[in-house]
Structure 1
């Protein structure tokens, strides 16, 4: 569903280059729940923005659902990202008093009547258990409610890849477990691939596989070595 191959991203801090991603490679399959850990300011938001097509890398390839973003025209890239990728962040609506149902429905109004878009938005809110907050503005919501509704907004178009930036920050243990349970149920029920980033490794407990982003390099989950397996097998025979 998602492949990064040798991705590099560099920003400039004054006259100094800041290499945020260095030869970063990662593969995520449909129905997989993947975590990415990085310290605060370590590049996890940039990584998700590259995966979402928001940031174009200077080096490497980004492939989503079998299509390389760099090889597509602008129109096809827009179509692919709108239909396939959902990005959830903690940034709320630009209009403070906008009801949550309208905010979530906005992405659907390009091709649906407002009434139909808001009906689907309420359904998406119901799937995260917060349809009762349809008429509430962002400022009235708790941290837990905000991230759940951000996920509902990212998922309302039924993407095949869902990217979530730091969803567990500020949540208590019960809220974290509820969130992870929701994401696991989404992957198993719909086959959506989910990548969530966090700055605390403890927040990724229960995630199927965890990658680490250190000095711009992505380090994959540890693999059991062939030597360990062989020794274990010999021990059993002995």
Structure 2
């Protein structure tokens, strides 16, 4: 039996286990199973891999960066992002990948058609933003980061005037604002300045329509949540483990 799983803490609402368990059933993959491994401390990781015959792991919060010193090798894009969410076990070695980047890249291509003239705002500057930026760089999309603590390289939310928003038709929320259970929050932008020319992408998928997306839709913008990205990154992980 091939064993795959997810490490993180807490794991009470795991998308990955449900996704892979259903995948194994629908695709009649009888030799594989997917388990949850809650680690209260990343130092428990070596004991885990010694005690199980694992073929691959996903990594979630809070260990996407903390896992790196335990790995033998990083895929180049994952190394540049500085966050790992897939581990491949191969010939006694552990190699880290970032399938969030590839999942977002594919999902954005399905959603947004105008790469040549694209200008994007990336709301947030955490680990999720790094994966998004790697995808935008790959697609040669010009972007600006937006955060509560602006620097010479980043805009503040206060700087997002109606004119600025008009110049950036693609707006991507990488912050957790609006995620269940705090569904009444949203990034503080001028939603009334949005139009039918805007595309709003929210990495949040629970709830399916955040206030960010709802207010964008009310202004005429096209919207998309992060569920497709989540499914696509899971498929990328499966391809990595089986390549």
- Structure with the bigger RCO (C-alpha within 8 Å, sep 6+) is 1
Q: TM-score range by the shorter chain?
A: 0.3 to 0.5
